[in-house]
Structure 1
Amino acid sequence: MRPLEGLFVLDFSTLLPGPMAGLLLAEAGAEVVKVEREGSGEEMRGYAPLWGGDGVNFALLNRGKKSIALNLKDEAARAKLLPLVEKADILLEQFRPGAMARLGLDYATLSGINPRLIYCSITGYGQTGPKLNAAGHDLNYIGDSGLLALSMGEPSRGIVPPALIADIAGGAYPAVINILLALRERDRTGVGCHLDIAMTDNLFPFTYWAMGNGLAAGEWPGNGTDLVTGGSPRYQLYGTADGRVVAAAPLEQKFWVTFCELIGLDPALRDDSRDPDATRTGVAALIARETGEHWRALFAGKDCCCSVVATIREAMDDPHFQARGLFDRRVTNFDGQSLPALPVPIAPAFREDASVSRETPGLGAHNQDYLR
């Protein structure tokens, strides 16, 4: 048995944070039922590229879930949800504060029906505070938390991060962590609770070192000026002769010595405390002389914390990840097509065998099962 088997989840969320949280719960064994908009379903169904009629992003995030579709603005339709609320262990929602209350589906109302309900609200800024109703997306949240300011490129040519950090690391993951804590607390008390998951709040742990530098030493980090944000030649991206990029992270002295020897750095530049910019320029010139494959072969098996940046395709084909079975699991759509499932941070001991392929649900495919 998987750890969360027997738990029932009602998921009102859309797009990324809530659906990914629901995916983690489903992968750990919970029964997750998506409550979707009648007619069109949640927004991610329409995102390109399409795969079997729905967006492939939707398929990857909703593997193994069920779908019911109804008009939440219709009182009679909402009444059909009450038996599900009565048996639910967890409810996920991602609307702006107050939206569920206007539908009569807020925690105060539903906990009166089911006191054991763990009600998880994921928003950008939380259920309280001056910004509670402010519209925003990931870029706004990482900007408001100060995280983006640590490494965002030049103002005239800003660098947009390659991942939706707030949605996943500030929303989905903290939601699951707190749901598990709430389940543990409910085991003790028999009572559920309302979880206020504010994505922006949860980004501050990523800035722990920057806050420490500022608060304790009075040295507030700038844009790309510090050890792990681009200010050091020991933690840097260097372009190669064929347009690839070396990710060089020989932070510790023993790794730095090995790295300098391997690339043949001028001994006068190896003490990077004297002139970091000169050292960085020297390293960059050497790396730029050879191809990515040259450096990959040179660094292989050497303790210097250096690698060549992989494309997504290369990463998926990497023998290491293949050997760990990271992409062995499958997701199937309602047309019978199959793709590798999205790997999630659930330990192998708590997941189904990789031979099990789970479907992504068609819109309203389970109305008869849950709303009769």
Structure 2
Amino acid sequence: MNPQLPLNGIRVLDLTRLLPGPVATMHLADMGAEVIKIEDPGAGDYARVMGPVRNEVSQFFVAVNRGKRMMRLDLKDAAHREQLLAMVETADVLVESFRPGVMDKLGLGWQTLKQRNPKLVMCAISGYGQDGPFAQLAGHDINYIGYAGMLDQNAGADGVPVLPNLQVGDLLGGAQSALQGILAALVAVKMGGAGRFVDVSMTDTVLAHNLMPLVAVNNGAAAQPGRDLLSGGVPCYNVYRTADGRYMAVGALELKFWQGCCDVLGRPDLKTRHWQLGQQVGGEDAMALKDELSAIFATRTLAQWTEAFAPADCCVSPVLRTEEALLHPLFAARGMVARHRHQTEGESWALAQPVRFQP
């Protein structure tokens, strides 16, 4: 334990599997909490065998369960169930991600747990929430973002939805919202209040953060995939292919940044063609100018454009591959990445906790 971390002394019982719950409890562990991950005596967390396996456990499992103490309990067994209830008495948080009603069937529902520990914070992460018409339905990230209207907007120029390799439903909808709810409930307890049950619906959370399409709907016109302000509808906020088949990310959303970008491109005549000066988002001029910029960026390589834009503070940057990001000075200076070399297993990478705390 690190006494300087803010959650030092907080004990968390983690009954979750796969991605959302384990990431939430990993962050709690990173912030100093003692996290006890409890798995069934058989296969345990399904993540153990997902993807490349080293030393009988997958790198996926290793990546999302750092800093936790592992334990095996069969919650269908009366003695093991009583052992968990005894642990609840000294715990601050319990996190689970079963389908709604499973904990009640096991004799471990909220009414039972809060009798054993009135100060307990219990967080239940599910796809569609603890109640409602979809509560008992199975789902994965692709389903949650599909129902919430996010996947429809995450589309290319052809309008076909593109699957992001950042699991928005699992990580924003599940992990981050669970973390938010748990920490808020812990603050209430520390201020003298009773424990709380935190109901996290991954689909609800994605919908709640689907803000730009909501703005468009409230403005009287639904956002067109690939044609909204932040999804490809303006040339000043877009990605452009370079001569070597790589991409530059142009985030010159504000007029001052766009004007700086035009200077680097050697096209000061384009400075007035910007959405803040009346260019219609997703309109003909915006799309025509996007094509014009595509032709300009295609004349140089990624390295050449990166060098050209380096002195200009106008929000234009290279689109890095993962292996390039891991080696980038930005993250090295922040201590975000550690490289480990194993004599028998080769090289592996580990990422640090991104939130810093200073006494």
Deviation at 1:126, TM superposition (A): 0.6
Maintained 8 Å contact 2:241/2:247? yes
Report the counterpart of residue 277 of structure 1 in structure 2.
287
Q: What secondary structure, in the 3-state scheme, does the structure 2 residue paired with 1:283 have? A: helix
Residues 1:175 and 1:330: Cα distance change in structure 2 (over 3 Å): farther
Match of residue 315 from structure 1: 325
What is the letter of the counterpart of residue 250 of structure 1? A
Which of 188, 201, 206 in structure 2 is aligned with 1:198? Answer: 201
User: Which letter maps to 1:236?
Assistant: N
Which residues of 2 match residues 207-226 of structure 1 at below 5 A? 207-215=210-218, 217-226=219-228
1:327 to 311, 325, 337: 337
Post-superposition offset of 1:331: 12
Alignment of 1:75-114 (within 5 A): 75-114=78-117
- Following TM superposition, by how much is the alpha carbon of 1:281 offset from its aligned partner in structure 2, in angstroms? 0.8
Q: Distance in 2 between matches of 1:61 and 1:331?
A: 20
Label 1:188 to 1:158 Cα distance change in 2 as closer, same or farther (>3 A).
closer
Greater relative contact order, per chain length (Cα 8 Å cut-off, separation 6+): 1
Is there any run of 5+ residues in structure 2 with no aligned partner, and where?
A: none
Residue in structure 2 matched with residue 149 of structure 1 by the alignment: 152
CA separation of 1:317 and 1:268: change in aligned 2, threshold 3 A:
closer
Give the drift of 1:345: 3.3
Segment drifting more, 80-89 vs 154-163: 154-163
CA drift of 1:75 comes to: 2.1
Where do residues 1-372 of structure 1 align in structure 2 (5 Å cutoff)? 1=3, 2-153=5-156, 157-215=160-218, 217-265=219-267, 267=269, 271-272=273-274, 273=279, 275-328=285-338, 339-349=348-358
The answer (yes or no) to whether the contact 1:149–1:222 under 8 Å persists in 2 is no
Distance 1:202 1:321, change over 3 A: same
User: How many residue pairs end up in the alignment?
Assistant: 347
**What amino acid maps onto 1:85 in structure 2?**
V
Deviation at 1:53, TM superposition (A): 1.8
TM-score w.r.t. structure 2 length? 0.90
Query: Cα deviations across residues 238-273 of structure 1 (Å, max 9, x unaligned)?
Result: 111111101111112222122222223483796252
What is the deviation of 1:311? Answer: 0.7
Distance 1:175 1:79 in 2: 26
Letter in 1 for 2:133: P
Counterpart for residue 359 of structure 1: none
Kindly tell me: are residues 25 and 305 of structure 1, through their superposed partners in 2, closer, same or farther at Cα, counting changes over 3 Å? Answer: same
CA shift digits 1:78-114 (9 cap, x unpaired): 1222211111110000011011111111111111111
- Whether the 8 Å CA contact 1:234–1:249 is kept in 2: the answer is yes
TM-score by length of 1: 0.87
- Greater Cα shift, 102-111 or 152-161: 152-161
Query: Sequence identity, in percent?
Result: 39
Q: Distance in 1 between matches of 2:195 and 2:286?
A: 54
Counterpart contact for 2:157–2:226, Cα < 8 Å: no
In the alignment, structure 1 segments of 5+ residues that lack a partner are: 351-372
2-structure distance, mates of 1:26, 1:337:
27
Q: Is contact 1:21-1:176 (8 Å) kept? A: yes
- CA RMSD of superposed structures (Å): 2.3
Distance in 1 of aligned mates of 2:105 and 2:262? 63
Residues 262 and 298 in structure 1, CA contact (< 8 A), matched pair in contact too: yes
Return the letter of the residue paired with 1:278: A
